[in-house]
Amino acid sequence: MQIRVLGCSGSIAAGSRTTSFLLDGTVLIDAGTGVGDLTLAEMARIDHILVSHSHLDHVLAIGLLADSVTRRRHTERRPPVRVHALAATLAALRTHIFNGVIWPDFTRLPSAAEPVLELVAIEVGQVLETGEHRIEVLPASHTVPAVGYAVLGTAAGGGGSSGAWVYTGDTGPNAALWARLATLQVDALVIETAFRDDEHELAGISKHLCPAMLKSELAQLGRPMDVYITHIKPGEVDAVMAEIGAHDSPHRIQALVSGQLMEFGHSGAAVNGR
């Protein structure tokens, strides 16, 4: 399996795009501004969008993508793009985005009978089947209802299994996540660190992490692993990574980069720049 990192920044600037990951070309995990780097043909291949929560940096491309691919998918008689999220997140999308004021209701366009988007409610602990993928919904702790996702590895021959790719979503301290990951083989962990340590208080209020909080979170992992930091604000990457590097850690920690390709679910994760 392959994850293409389309965007992993906490906000926008030239070269910085907000959260969006593309799994094997067909499953989009969060729909931030990074989606704009896809060609129309690449966008039209996406059959599933998994949303972590309702914040704008993670959802703004859903409606724009729908607008871009409507004609092509309708002509090709393709089914609606399925948007998976917590019921509360879907309600927020309906009320605040697909309301005919901010954006048209693409769950009823181009026609109510054959719309381009279909909203599908999910719950924490559920395992979604999206064609070839099995994706578990993980708990997150944020200022709005939120989840993370684990793309589960494929069953390997010989009775073993390959590991999962885990994305925490936006989250503050999250004991429930570490309890779940204790029983899961993880190849790569993508975790947010949205703030620097001098903004510790703001991180607490907004339910994000800063490097000191990240350290206490990662201490709850049972074994060393590859950890990728996401959701750092533009211009803050070097400072946040320096603060993280100043803490001793058994984990292999690096900043995620837009355009990065992450291969996993084989014998181990491998990462290539683009």
**Helix-helix angle 237-245:211-218, to 10 degrees:** 50
Among 170, 217, 236, 243, binds Zn ion (CB under 5 A): 170
Give the nearer residue to Zn ion in terms of CB position, either 31 or 66.
31
Give the nearer residue to Zn ion in terms of CB position, either 7 or 115.
7
Task: Specify whether the CB–CB gap between 93 and 85 falls below 8 A.
Answer: yes
Pair of tokens at residue 41 = 């043909």
Minimum CB separation of residue 53 from Zn ion in Å reads: 6
Minimum CB separation of residue 57 from Zn ion in Å reads: 4
Minimum CB separation of residue 218 from Zn ion in Å reads: 20
Q: Which stretch binds Zn ion (CB under 5 A): 22-30, 169-177, 242-250, 253-261?
A: 169-177
Minimum CB separation of residue 165 from Zn ion in Å reads: 19
The residue count for binding Zn ion (CB under 5 A) is 3
30 part of the interface to Zn ion, by CB under 5 A: no
Give the nearer residue to Zn ion in terms of CB position, either 50 or 152.
50
Q: Which of residues 86-125 bind Zn ion (CB under 5 A)?
A: none
Give the nearer residue to Zn ion in terms of CB position, either 17 or 55.
55
Minimum CB separation of residue 193 from Zn ion in Å reads: 12
Minimum CB separation of residue 192 from Zn ion in Å reads: 7
Could you write out the DSSP letters of every residue in the chain?
-EEEEEE-BSS-BTTB-BSEEEETTTEEES--GGGGGS-HHHHHT--EEE-S-S-HHHHHHHHHHHHHHHHHHHHTTPPPEEEEEEHHHHHHHHHHTSSSSSS--TTS-S-SSS-SEEEEEE-TT-EEEETTEEEEEEE---SSS-EEEEEPPPBPGGG-BPPEEEE--S-S--HHHHHHHTTS-EEEEEEE--S-GGGHHHHHHTT---HHHHHHHHTT-SS--EEEEE-BPTT-HHHHHHHHHTS--SSEEEE--TT-EEE-SSSS-EEE--
Task: Specify whether the CB–CB gap between 209 and 217 falls below 8 A.
Answer: yes
**Could you give the string, one character per residue 128-167, with x where binding to Zn ion holds by CB under 5 A and - elsewhere?**
----------------------------------------
Give the nearer residue to Zn ion in terms of CB position, either 88 or 270.
88
Q: Which of residues 32-91 bind Zn ion (CB under 5 A)?
A: 55, 57
User: CA angle, 25 as apex, 22 and 30 as ends, to 5°?
Assistant: 25
Q: Which stretch binds Zn ion (CB under 5 A): 23-31, 39-47, 168-176, 242-250?
A: 168-176
Minimum CB separation of residue 126 from Zn ion in Å reads: 21
- The site for Zn ion (CB under 5 A) is made up of 55, 57, 170
